[in-house]
Amino acid sequence: MKNILVVTNGNIGDFVLATSALKLLRAELPYANITLITSRKIRDLIPKHTLTDEIIWTDFSFTRGFLRQRADQIIWFIRRYFKIKKAKFDDCIFLDHSRFFARAIPLIGIKNLIGPETWWCGSNISNPNIKFLTKAVQLPKDSDNNHMMERYQTIIRSYLESCNLSIPVLPETMKNTNDKVAKLLNKTKKYSITFSLRGDDIEGNKRIYPIMHAVEIIKNLSSKISADFYILGTKVAYDEAERIKKETADSALVSNLCGQTSLMELKSVFEQTDLLISVDTGTIHIAATTKTNIIGLYGPAKPAHSAPVSSKAVILYANEDCSPCHYKRTVLGTPCAYGDNPKCLLDITPDMVVEAALKVLK
């Protein structure tokens, strides 16, 4: 029986897309023992007893300084080294692009190390971890035009020598979760519209839709249709949501749900609402596993790279000359010239969003 270790990115959106590859791996090797290394923060999103047999959680943050992050990773590895080595894995598949894992896992002595030939972003950028691999999987050279879900599945298909396809999967929401969310939403109008306006708060990778654009969208839509509006996000976005409520001049019109929902409760929110308006973030990929309508606001990344996998998604993309900028900003550390207000998102105007929303809803 195969004993396989899979290393996955702990970011929410990446993990949701990676579930399609894990689903494919399990379907092809139903009797294999599959162990997953991933972040504890996405623990609610893993369908129990279907994709993996065991999970080794990571608990270090990618938003800390480099030295603190590296120290956390080394301590984590030392504490789990003997557990991983004792498992005697046959193969390790890297869906994660972490340089730390690429260096650490070979120290355990796993014979077969499988990963991508090219980097996760940029054009024709060789994977800097390739020297640690025993098998490098060939992918399209232009990573910015290769969807992350397809990237993950190509790695798994190469490992399996298969040509099958899959789509992301999340656990079913429980009745008590749905009941709790229904009370939280307290819908009173015909339509219910959610917003996710802030992406990962990582230096060099800020995806923030302008607050005043959101205010104009809410004002315009509320004058045309009967709708409840909800602002979603982490606690970091709470003050911004409060400002949106204040600027709309009708506190009853907008509900601030920032920091109030778990990941599975967030999924339930989308199962009970009509439309999500969101930047490219984990939220949009959770929504894509439900039947809610989606308007994706894309700027720093091309839709071809990370659009939500949903037939009910409409993408608005300004296509600025500086987009995509993942490699420049995230890898090279070159700051966006527009700071926390990137022009690529600023140029997606409220009128554009309102027009798309009315088409979707009506």
Strand ranges in 205-336 using DSSP code E only, listed in sequence order: 227-232, 254-256, 275-279, 293-298, 313-317
DSSP 8-class letter at 208? B
- Residue 10 inside a domain? The answer is yes
User: Do 334 and 311 belong to one domain?
Assistant: yes
According to the model, what pLDDT value does residue 64 have? 66
Which runs of E-coded beta strand occur in 221-308?
A: 227-232, 254-256, 275-279, 293-298
**Same domain for 179 and 153?**
no
CA-CA distance, 6 to 95, in Å (whole number)?
7
Q: Are residues 32 and 141 in the same domain?
A: yes
Q: Are residues 200 and 281 in the same domain?
A: yes
Smallest Cα–Cα separation from 121: which of 137, 103, 145? 145
Cα–Cα distance for residue pair 307/284, rounded to 1 Å: 9
Average pLDDT, the chain: 92
Question: Domain check: are 230 and 357 in the same one?
Answer: yes
Q: Which of 136, 160, 184 represents a domain boundary (last residue)?
A: 160
Asked if 152 and 11 sit in the same domain, the reply is yes
SS3 label, residue 97: coil
Residues 6 or more apart from 131 whose CB is under 8 A from it? none
Decide if 23 is inside a domain: yes
Compute the average pLDDT of residues 169-184: 96
Q: Of the candidates 104, 127, 160, which is a domain's last residue? A: 160
What number is the average pLDDT over the span 37-51? 86
318 phi, psi to nearest 5 deg: -75, -20
> Please, which pLDDT band fits residue 202 given cuts at 50, 70 and 90?
low
Is the same domain home to 208 and 268? yes
Q: Which has more pLDDT, 7 or 335?
A: 7
Asked whether residue 237 is assigned to any structural domain, the reply reads yes
Overall average pLDDT of the 4-20 stretch: 93
Q: Say yes or no to pLDDT of 268 above 70.
A: yes
Give the burial class of 299: count Cβ atoms within 10 A of its Cβ; 0-12 exposed, 13-18 middle, 19 or more buried. buried
Residue 169 resides in a domain: no
216 and 357 belong to one structural domain: yes
Whole-number Å distance between alpha carbons of 143 and 315 = 19
DSSP 8-state class, residue 61: -
| Average pLDDT of the segment spanning 274-297 | 97
Reported pTM: 0.94
Q: Under 8 Å CB-to-CB from 176, ≥6 apart: which residues?
A: none
Among the listed ranges 7-21, 220-234, 290-304, 335-349, which one has the minimum average pLDDT value? 335-349
Q: Is residue 165 part of a domain?
A: no
Determine the Cα–Cα distance for residues 156 and 135; give it in Å rounded to an integer: 12
Q: How confident is the model at residue 338 (pLDDT cuts 50, 70, 90)?
A: confident
Q: Answer yes or no: are the C-beta atoms of 59 and 40 closer than 8 Å.
A: yes
Q: Please check the confidence at residue 176 and state whether its pLDDT lies above 80.
A: yes
For residue 278, give the DSSP letter.
Answer: E
Confirm whether 221 is domain-assigned: yes
Question: What tokens does 225 get?
Answer: 């249709």
317 and 352 in a single domain? The answer is yes
The DSSP annotation for 121-189 comes to: SSBSPBPTTGGG-SEEEP--SBGGGS-HHHHHHHHHHHHHT---------PPPPHHHHHHHHHHH---S
Q: Residue 174 — pLDDT band, cuts 50, 70, 90?
A: very high
The answer to whether the beta carbons of residues 116 and 95 sit under 8 Å apart is: no
Number of domains making up the chain: 2
Q: What is the Cα Rg of the chain in Å? A: 21
Asked whether the predicted pLDDT for residue 183 surpasses 90, the reply is yes
Proportion of the chain above pLDDT 70, given as a percent:
96
Instruction: Classify residue 138: in a domain, yes or no.
Output: yes
- What local confidence, expressed as pLDDT, does residue 49 receive? 67
Task: Name the nearest CA neighbour of 137 among 153, 124, 121.
Answer: 153
- 239 found inside a domain: yes
- d(C-alpha 17, C-alpha 117), whole Å: 19
* 250-286: burial string, b at 16+ Cβ within 10 Å, e else: eeebbbbbbebbebbbbbbbbbbbbbbbbbbbbbbbb
Residue 11, both tokens: 């970011």
> What's the average model confidence in pLDDT over 65-85?
89
SS3 33: strand
Q: Token pair for residue 28?
A: 């092809």
Domain of residue 103, residue span? 3-160
Residue where a domain stops, chosen among 98, 132, 160 = 160
Q: What is the pLDDT of residues 101-137, one digit of tens each?
A: 999 999 999 999 999 999 999 999 999 999 999 999 9
Read off φ and ψ for residue 165, nearest 5 degrees.
Answer: -125, 160
- Collect all residues with Cβ–Cβ distance below 8 Å to 23 and sequence separation of at least 6: 50, 51, 166, 167, 168, 169
156 and 193 assigned to the same domain: no
CATH number at residue 185: 3.40.50.2000
82 and 188 both lie in a single domain: no
Assess whether 228 and 323 both reside in one domain.
Answer: yes
What are 236-263's pLDDT values in tens digits? 899 999 999 999 977 788 999 999 999 9
Cβ neighbours, 10 Å, residue 130? 14
Give residue 63's pLDDT band: very low, low, confident or very high (50, 70, 90): low
> What pLDDT band is residue 66 in, cutting at 50, 70 and 90?
confident
